[in-house]
Amino acid sequence: MKRPISAKLKFNNMTTGNSNTTRGTLYGILFLAVCTIMLFSLSLYQRSQWFGTTSNDMTGALTTGSTLMAKQWQQEGPWHRWFIFYWEPASIEFPTLESRTPYVSYPPGAILPIYFLGKFSPNGPTCEMTMSYNLANQCCIAFVLALIVFFVLGAMAFPTSVRCVASLTPIVLYFWMPSPFYEHLMGYFSDQAIILPYALLVFLEVFRDTTQHERIKKWIVVIQGVVLFWGIFTDWLFPFVAMALYLMRVVRGQMGTRPLLFLKRSVLFWLPAALALGLYSLQLYKVHAFTKLALRFIHRTGVDGGGLNALRPVPKHVYFNQLWTFTLDTFFWQRFVPYAYGFLGKVLILASAAILIVLLFYLLVKRVRRSPVSPGVGASIMVMYLFLVPCFAHYHIFKNHSSFLFHFFAVLKMALNMAVIPFALLPLMLVAWWVPGVWKKRVGLALALVLLASASMYVWSLGNVRTTLFSDLKMDRKAMAEFVGRHTNYNDVVFSVDEIVQRHFVVYSMKKVHRVKNIVEIYDMVKNIPGPYIINLFSKGPEEWGPPYNLWDLANMAYEQYHEGDVHLRKIRKEDFLTYYQHLLDTSNPPITVQENTP
């Protein structure tokens, strides 16, 4: 007779009487899943008015850029394009892939889910699909964070009631702290996509430590390898996460003491990362972008001395002291953290880091004295270590990236430690450490309720901050871009004297709009195009093709026109354009020269 699954699962330090049996653990997990869905639905309702809205800022660029990448892959074939992202969509004025400006700053792992989801949709990848996936990520992350707290408190021998109440806290925090509340709807790229594998890797490590089932432990190691590949192939935060996990296992003796065993386990640990970086290196080789990536790294670390200035082609000096100079006097700490987590955010994060240093020193003393450490306390310190050290290390090395004026999304990684440490694990760890067993349940439950209420009041007090983030949205230009997309195809080259479809709205048009000042600039753009191109003049509002642009004659040559509301598009054949341009050259009124001061 087969045993039920609940009989196969065994957890360390989780049986403190009938209230903490394995069945109680499974019921607790089910309770957290239901609560996660209910609270997530509430947060969705509060953000529903912004769903599908694309902001005219960097956050909007993340979502539309990710969608554009997935859309390009679906239209042109991802293997044919080596899963590389090009800023410019396929169009006749971009004859080579190099002319379409490849973007190689990150591996493409964040885009793969959007691409695969798009294959099951008749409309392909859309911004609404990207937003939906981003929101689903937030729901999964909150649930995983709740499980981390739930299992660590189980290792501290807290009863199920305490564990369930305390595990609600990270759910509430991750749904309503301003940064995840905003970023998981309005912006999706690698900084948002990396949070789920990050949380999942930490949870798997906690579960690996708390289960007694050896077969499950082996499967967990395999799954961690998959997550490690996923994370490395997504964002540069994950190498810091992987290194922190590796060093922790080395210190704990889990990599083995014999040289050959240590080497074998180390190779197996880093194999997924090496595979992910190898695939990414093939992409860089394909577009000859190793130098470009190196220069980007130099700038994002700040060692070029450029501060927040634009990327320098070749830095004049390299200041390596920036790599070991830690500072809190940056945009990240002075502006992003308060916007993301309120006034207390910086205090709570730095206080958690300071306490972690003390706790790590405590573990060092214990190790020197060869004294045992409570499994629950050890698990709590492990989670604090894995959620704090990689984030601080990533900020420190890439401080220019984290503090760049428009990189508010870089602060999202701090939401993990904010959700788990100050309002859940740290206070209850102190209770497990100091409160006698007879009082542990009562004090733990009372404290868990107080912490949940405090976390709820904390996120409620940040309501104005959340509102401010959404009120900063600029004008949505989706309709204008869709108009261009409906009336153009591969052979069209679109020009405008006053309006452009900005880079992060190209996903709606799949066509770049070039801003020009006169007919000379139009000719310079198309003179080397061998194919049968079509000139498109696009405008928004009243059509103004007269002085100083002098394009009315050209506009009146249009063989086809489209007008919808205040947007207009006129099409001129290649032959008609070249004939008219040659006529201007042959008459006493040649084309006007480029006027730098033309509005």
Q: Where are the alpha helices (DSSP H) in 108-210?
A: 112-118, 127-155, 160-176, 178-186, 190-193, 195-210
Query: Which single residue is written with the structure tokens 């102190």?
Result: 430
CA-to-CA dists, residue 126 to 70, 178, 246, 390, angstroms = 9, 25, 38, 33
> Are 316 and 325 within 8 A, CB to CB?
no
The two most distant CA atoms of the chain are separated, in Å, by 101
Q: Is residue 45 pLDDT above 60, yes or no? A: yes
Phi/psi at 492 (5° precision):
-85, 140
User: Across residues 270-290, what is the average pLDDT?
Assistant: 93
**Separation of CA 508 from chain center:** 21
DSSP state, residue 121: S
Q: Which two tokens stand for residue 598?
A: 């033309």
pLDDT given at position 384: 96
Task: Return d(Cα 593, Cα 521) in angstroms, integer.
Answer: 9
209-268 residue pLDDT tens: 887 788 888 899 999 999 999 999 999 999 999 999 999 999 988 888 899 999 999 999
Q: Which two tokens stand for residue 471?
A: 């009120």
Half-sphere exposure of 514 (CA within 13 A, CB side): 20
pLDDT given at position 591: 55
pLDDT given at position 19: 42
Task: Return d(Cα 107, Cα 89) in angstroms, integer.
Answer: 19
393-429 residue pLDDT tens: 999 888 888 887 788 889 999 999 999 999 999 999 9
519-561 residue pLDDT tens: 889 999 999 998 899 999 998 887 777 667 778 888 889 999 9
DSSP state, residue 182: H
> Are 105 and 404 within 8 A, CB to CB?
no
310-362 residue pLDDT tens: 344 444 455 555 666 777 878 888 889 998 999 899 999 999 999 999 999 99
Q: Where are the alpha helices (DSSP H) in 333-404?
A: 337-341, 343-369, 375-397, 399-403
For 489-527, b/e burial (b = at least 16 CB within 10 A) is eeebbbbbbebbbbebbbbbbbbbbbebbbbbbbbebbe
Would you give the end-to-end CA distance of the chain in angstroms? 83
Task: Give this prediction's pTM.
Answer: 0.89
> Are 346 and 415 within 8 A, CB to CB?
no
User: Across residues 590-596, what is the average pLDDT?
Assistant: 48
CA 312, 315, 317, 323 torsion-angle sign = positive
DSSP, collapsed to helix, strand or coil, labels residue 570 as strand
Task: Return d(Cα 23, Cα 183) in angstroms, integer.
Answer: 37
134-181 residue pLDDT tens: 999 999 999 999 999 999 999 888 989 999 999 999 999 999 999 999
User: Across residues 81-104, what is the average pLDDT?
Assistant: 88
> Are 182 and 469 within 8 A, CB to CB?
yes
User: Across residues 176-197, what is the average pLDDT?
Assistant: 94
Q: What angle do CA 371, 377, 378 make, to 5 degrees?
A: 70
User: Across residues 70-80, what is the average pLDDT?
Assistant: 89
